[in-house]
Structure 1
Amino acid sequence: MDAFEYLVSLGGVARVGLLRANGHSPAAIRKLAAAGASQPRKGVWALPTADPEYLKAVLTNGQITCASAALRYGLWIKDKPARLHLATRHCRGKGFIRHGYTRFPPPEAVPLAAVEDTVIHALTCLPEVDAIAVAQSAMRNFGVPRRLLESELSADYYGSARRRLAKADGISESVPEISARLLFESAGLEFRRQVEIEGVGRVDFLIDGWLIVEVNGYAFHSSREDWRKDMARLNAAQVLGYGTLSYAPEQIWNTPGRVVAEICRMLQRGRGMDQVRGHILLDHTQTRRRMVA
């Protein structure tokens, strides 16, 4: 791989020191100019097609982190950040959200903070739903140990971050489900998550033991077969006497008051005791079978 190809592999921007450390001679590096690269700052080479966030990070001597890094790692997050999040060891530069030092070795070559630092910064910076989602997806998809995160957040001033981390319990399976959980908790509803109902399958939420609430994710009903299966599940639940409500993520986010009001109206209608008696629930949150009274 020549110097130009290596520069492309790094997102189009790199420091001279990195290029030389990977075997590219000063003469080979100078030839980058003939390939269209330039030096936006002494010691840095960049292509016109350079990743703009990588370029900003390199020129600022920082690392992309928090929400900006979460997107690159494929972690769960509700909204794309409006501004770049960078971790720096200095207070220079502007046009980005600044985070403090990093604790863990970053990926080789590119100016991207480690997943662990990305989570720690998210827990101290982002809105609650995004902070929980980033932490939960990092533990689930990258195997980041909870104890490691807890040990890095042991100082008193990390109290809020620790509470958010505690809510990343591995049960909810998407950002919309986490959002719904926080909404239902704030409304004082009693519910269980990811409950297996015999004859129905696993449901997102079971409120008051009889009301099923499903939060359908982005790719839901991606095929007609998925649609048929879901209709069959909801029909089976109603035949067994369960109430059912289903919401899109946008309803949870944009009209939370209406969602809670509808659930409360359903609960006021009461529970069909004689219809659901005797059906067995397998509560995934407690991993044991129960009889619904």
Structure 2
Amino acid sequence: MPSIHGFRSLTYPDISSHPLHLILTIGHESTQDPCYRFDGQERTKGLLFQYTLSGEGKLSIGQNTFSVPKNHGFFVHIPSDHYYYFDPSSADNWEFIWIKLYATEVSKLYWNHFIDRFGHVAFVPSSAEPILILWSLYNSIANKKIEHQKHDISFRVYEWILSLLRFSEGEVRTDRHLPETVQIGKQFMEQHFHEPISLSQIAEVAKVSPNHFCKMFQKHVGASPVEYLRLVRLEKAAHLLKHTRIPVSQIAVETGFDNLSYFGKVFRKLIGMTPSEYRDGKSDLAGNQLHIMS
């Protein structure tokens, strides 16, 4: 018998255009059922990442079929022309962990980026940060150790998405070697994020024109310099919010944001809550807020 430990959040209002990253289901399963098959045209809307722990699954997209062996995961939009299934000719159980997110405009952009960067099926070592964070998220929900307000969930999911972005950048560095100009620019942003630096300054340090630097950075990192700098600042700010009691206004200054209002706007847009809501939000994971799928 397959072992299923899935969790579904409460139904939220329509958030299709809202930046919150919310979970539809997250779970861990092992199956050898020849009837295990899901058609991407017949399921509720969402974004799915499913990662193989042992054995092997199959993913068909249009006319192409891909194996999803151990240490590989797949990204799909639902609905779309795909289906994934257990191949009964396999001798081993297919064991996997999955997460399915609401398909917001923001999260769909990330999914498209991951598919462009990895393909639909990606090799991700089990020790890599995205898998460790996914396990942590699953275990926190399974053991009722995570606050289940939508803002709390959104931040944890965004943390996982950021880990995939970092991992994808690492893949680029390993496979293609970042050009020196891009490396210099990235390092400058990571060291001077707290300063009011401009694109012209970054390009000057890299000794290229702003236009050329933008094109090179976008090509090799997968984000514009402005987007990358904003993510660096946001990660630093989130860390300070979580681990210190420094006033929010001071955190905005220390992480390079122009002013408190802009800091709050960016934080809410990308994470789905204000800085104060993230820091001060308190909720209790009541048993009736999740239910085990059977």
TM-score range, shorter chain: under 0.3
TM-score (normalizing by structure 1): 0.26
Higher RCO structure, 1 or 2 (CA under 8 Å, sep 6+): 2
TM-score (normalizing by structure 2): 0.26
Larger Rg: 1
